[in-house]
Amino acid sequence: MSRSTGPVSLAELERRAAQRRDGGGDGHGRDALVVCDRLVRIFTADGVEVQALQGLDLLVGRGELTALVGASGSGKSTLLNILAGLDTPSAGAASVAGFDLVTMDAAARLRYRREVVGFVWQQASRNLLPYLTAAQNVLLPMKLAGGRVPRRERAGRVRELLDLLGVGHCHGRRPEGMSGGEQQRVAIAVALANAPALLLADEPTGELDSRAADEILTALRTANEELGTTVLIVTHDASVASAVRRTIAIRDGRTSSEVLRRAALDEHGDEVLVAQEYVTVDRAGRLQLPAGFAERLSIRDRARVALQPDHITVHRDDSHDA
């Protein structure tokens, strides 16, 4: 059997990674990589129970670049920790690329974190070891994962990842010799080292200026488009949330609405980005009205609804004013 003697391209490594993945098809969505079904997470502190997730449903398709938004305490970081394999649900179901995040044992969870998911923290200091160079930081996950990336191919993959994300010049630098934006792009390279199916980023632009934030978004988009990696970003940054095709809002521990964006031509033939907001309907038929809509119409305890031939109308309840 012949062997390759030179570095293998990123595209080839990604193809091999895709072959190793077991598909994740579980009947909830034809191309869904991430599946959450009535997900619940309860924390107990000082004898008081807090429901961070309250029956959350979510599908993220393979190859999507998606943003998660929501107020502090809405549950988005809790969801990200569960998808990263850092926390476990209290109830419900969750899977990524065929890995059951509820029933995984310790060995499967370790394999999952090393091979299936990559994670980028907001704080650069949590992403990189300060005494290693950029190249050594990217190489480390490959060593820890054993034979996932063959030893003879690792150096080539390190350099290709750094070059792809625009930080090839940081190859021999330690974190102290990089800007904040460079550190975060190297961190993305670290997260991509073992060709994960899913890349998670928790407020990756939160500590950066607008220019560096744009570079991080470009790096994440590059990972998505060039490598085919599914990317899920938790963000408070409106410029990030509005620059992806799909933005999901989480409110009170549930997905509440989505904004989908698509390119279209206006009346002059120029390409414009069209955004459409949708509310999420769960299996019980429940939906959350966008907070701004409810506030503007003073909808509080209940609303009056009526079924029309092709839509539903929602009105403020004025019966108490009669």
**Residue 274, beta-bridge partner list:** 262
Query: Per-residue confidence at 8, pLDDT binned at 50, 70, 90?
Result: very low
Nearest to 166 by CA among 226, 208, 219, 223: 219
pLDDT tens for residues 208-221?
888 999 999 999 99
What CATH architecture is 10-23+62-84+108-251? 3-Layer(aba) Sandwich (3.40)
Least confident of 53-57, 107-111, 152-156, 313-317: 313-317
pTM (predicted TM-score): 0.83
CA 180 to chain centre: 21
CA–CA gap between residue 184 and residue 299 (Å, rounded): 43
pLDDT tens for residues 248-276?
999 889 998 888 888 777 777 777 777 78
Residue spans per domain, the chain: 10-23+62-84+108-251, 289-322
Give the angle 182-184-188 at the CA atoms, nearest 5°.
Answer: 115
176 neighbors 182 (Cβ within 8 angstroms): no
Mean predicted confidence (pLDDT) in 133-151: 91
Find the helix packing angle between 180-191 and 210-227, rounded to 10°.
20
pLDDT tens for residues 189-236?
999 999 999 999 999 988 888 899 999 999 999 999 999 999 999 998
